[in-house]
Each structure stands twice: as C-alpha cells, then as structure tokens.
Amino acid sequence: MPLMRSAFIALSHNKTLRHIAERSRIGVRLSSRFIAGMEIDDALRVAEARNKEGMAVTLDSLGESVTSEREAHQAAEVYHRLLDALAERKLNANISVKLTQMGLGLSPELAETIAESLAQHAQSAGNFVRIDMEDSSLTQVTLDIVRRLHARPGLRGVIGIVIQAYLYRSQADVEQLIADDIRVRLCKGAYNEPAEVAFPRKADVDSNFIRLSCMLLDSPIFHGLATHDETMIAEAKSFASQHGIDRSRFEFQMLYGVRRDLQRQLVRDGYNVRVYVPFGQEWYPYFMRRLAERPANVLFIAKNMLRQ
Ligand code: FDA
C-alpha cells in the first residue's frame, strides 16, 4: 500500500496528466466525489447544506504553486469574494488557504502580504483564515508567516495553522503554537516525505497524532482534529471525557465526500464537526492526494461510473 500511496502522490505532480484531466468531462465527473463543483456558487450551496445538517465548513478554492504575481492576486480575489458571500449569506464557514497559491514560491513577502489582507478582511467580517500546510520544505516559512500575522494588531485569533503528525518536528511546533495562543488543525499529513523528516511507519504517525491531540485538547485554545480514523477519534473523545474537556471546546474536521456517516454520527453525539469543502477547476493534485490516502477509492469511483 505505501507504494500505491507514493505512486499517486508522484502522479499528483504530473503536469501533462493534470492538463488533460482538468479539461476532460470524465475527469470533472470523477472528481465530483471529493470536490463540491467548479464555481463559488457550488461551494456556497454545499456549505449551506452542511450547515443545515449542523456542520461547520471550511472552503478551499483549489489551486497551488502559482507562477506569477497576477495569478496569486487572482487566487486571493476568489477568497475575498468568498468572505463577502459568507458574511452576506450568514454561513457558518471559514476559509482554508495554501500559501503557494498566494505566491510563496515566487516570494515569501508576496504570500505574507496577500495572507495579511485576507486575515484583515476575515477580521472585519468576524471570520477566520486557516493556512493549510504543504510539503516539509515549506513548514518553517509557513509557521513564520502565521506567527508574524497572528502577532499583528487586530489579527490575534483570526489566523490559524495546520500541523502534520507525520513530521518529527511537530511536537515542538505544537508546544510553541500553544504558547503563542495560535489555533491548530492537526492532521496526519498528505505529502511524500523522506525518513529524515517524517515517521515512515503509519503506526508511529498514529501514535504521534494521539499524543499531539491530547496536548491540543489540554490547552485552553479551540483546535481542530482533522481525521477520518475512528481510532484517533475514539482516543480524542476518551481523553476529553476523562479530563473534563467539554465538547464545545474543540472540533473534528473531515473532508467533503469522505465518511459522511461518521460526520453525521459525531453531530448526533453532540460534537462540533467542520467539513473541508474544496471547489474550483484546479482539482487534479487535490484529487490525486485523496486517491493516495485510500487507493480503494479508485475502484469505488470506477464502480459508480459504471453504474451511471
Ligand atoms: P488514514 O489515512 O489513516 O485513514 C483512516 C480511515 O479514514 C481510512 O481507513 C478510511 O476509512 C478513511 N479515509 C481516509 N482518507 C480517505 C479518503 N481519501 N477517501 C476515503 N476514505 C478515507 N494534509 C496536509 O498535509 N495538509 C493539510 O493542510 C491538510 N488539511 C486537511 C484538512 C482536513 C479537514 C482533513 C480531514 C485532512 C487534511 N489533510 C491535510 C489530509 C490529511 O493529512 C490526511 O492525508 C487525510 O486526512 C487522511 O488521513 P486520516 O487521518 O483520515 O487517516
């Protein structure tokens, strides 16, 4: 299985396949399992439906690694429109942003300026910006940008980060983020990382996820535990109940199209659930990472296609 995982992640970087897939009707149909649609309105419709089911949402306007400043500003513009639309429709949804989509690969200053303007907009709209975490070459610069923005006047609590349990460094990062009062989304991690920086064994990633979950739950800050793994969820629930941590003090986060049964069950049990809803035309790398997590998805999607 790890081989399949690496193969799908490697394919996620293939430009030719991406070009063909994102423009093909069949590709768009296949991706709809994990992607809300191509337009802002599709995302807003899904957000509204999830809100009606008692779930909060975070919206991801798909795209990463832009190659010009103009593209970075265009990508940011979509998020500005989203923040306005969310406020207008009074939806319970925030935004998830990748710094490489905001120009990090061109210049960290550009990405920081754009992220700051999004955070300021979110602040005035009473909303929140989550900065997604990308591969390990970007961990430090992402942390630095989020820390600096969080420290700016008026932006405290408006911006949060993602920590990946597969990285050895994450425990130290979590300790520092808690000390800095910064909200964390904890996930296992979705990229191919070498053994120099990340646990190669899934069992070690899982143990670290549990250890970091407990540290986050024990802190006074509102954090998100992003996983579909029932063992991780059971451990978090049991730690919270043993330590008298109320369900209102944290949330579980899951991806659109993954384990909807579990999402609904958690809501029924009185837990906060936030669904990560991606939308937009640049769906290919995101879609391939979802196949990497569960290669059986390929069969599942193929069967559904044949049935239609
Ligand atoms: P694991 O991969 O062990 O899966 C546990 C079980 O969950 C599987 O057995 C299966 O039942 C189900 N499952 C998991 N993935 C599935 C899929 N794609 N399709 C169907 N079933 C699936 N990563 C990152 O590097 N940076 C980030 O910023 C984020 N952000 C993020 C936000 C949110 C809300 C979530 C839920 C996840 C992320 N991730 C992420 C992705 C994350 O790192 C990880 O790759 C996936 O969540 C899969 O890991 P699980 O914790 O679900 O466990």
Task: Indicate whether 299 pLDDT > 80.
Answer: no
195-236, pLDDT tens digit by residue? 999 999 999 999 999 999 999 999 999 999 999 999 999 999
* Predicted local distance difference test score (pLDDT) of residue 306: 63
Tell me the angle at which helices 170-180 and 139-151 cross, rounded to the nearest 10 degrees: 10
Does 134 score more than 70 pLDDT? yes
Amino acid identity, position 121: H
The answer to whether residue 259 scores a pLDDT higher than 70 is yes
Listed residue (94, 95, 99, 126) closest to 114, CA to CA: 99
Q: Is the CB–ligand 1 distance for residue 189 below 6 Å?
A: yes
Closest CA to 280 of 98, 81, 28: 28
Q: Are 222 and 249 in contact (CB under 8 A)?
A: yes
Residue 12: which pLDDT band, with cuts at 50, 70 and 90? Answer: confident
User: Would strands 56-61 and 129-131 be described as parallel, antiparallel, or unpaired?
Assistant: unpaired
Strand ranges inside 194-244, DSSP E: 223-226
User: Does 132 participate in catalysis according to the annotation?
Assistant: yes
Residue 182 CA to its chain's centroid (Å):
16
Is residue 307 very low, low, confident or very high in pLDDT (cuts 50, 70, 90)? Answer: low
Distance 154 CA to ligand 1 centre (A): 32
Beta bridge partners of 277: 59
Determine what percent of the chain falls in helix, strand and coil, rounding each to the nearest 5: 55, 15, 30
Clarify whether 130 is annotated catalytic. Answer: no
Output the DSSP codes for 280-305.
SS--HHHHHHHHHH-THHHHHHHHHH
Mean pLDDT (whole number) for 9-38: 87
- The pLDDT of residue 1 is above 70: no
Higher pLDDT residue, 245 or 18?
245
132 lines ligand 1 (CB under 6 A): yes
| 308/299 Cα distance (integer angstroms) | 14
Residue 68 CA to ligand 1 center (angstroms) comes to: 30
Measure 295 CA to ligand 1 centroid, in angstroms. Answer: 12
Instruction: Single out the catalytic residue among 60, 132, 173, 206.
Output: 132
- 288 within 8 A of 11, measured Cβ to Cβ: yes
Q: Is the CB of 217 under 6 A from ligand 1?
A: no
Alpha-carbon gap, residue 220 to 24, rounded angstroms: 47
Q: What is the DSSP letter of 127?
A: -
**Residue at 112: amino acid letter:** E
Question: Token pair of 222, please?
Answer: 């509102």
Mean pLDDT, the chain, as a whole number? 94
Residue keyed to tokens 């670290």: 208
Q: Is 165 exposed, middle or buried (0-12, 13-18, 19+ CB in 10 A)?
A: buried
Per-residue model confidence (pLDDT) at position 31: 86
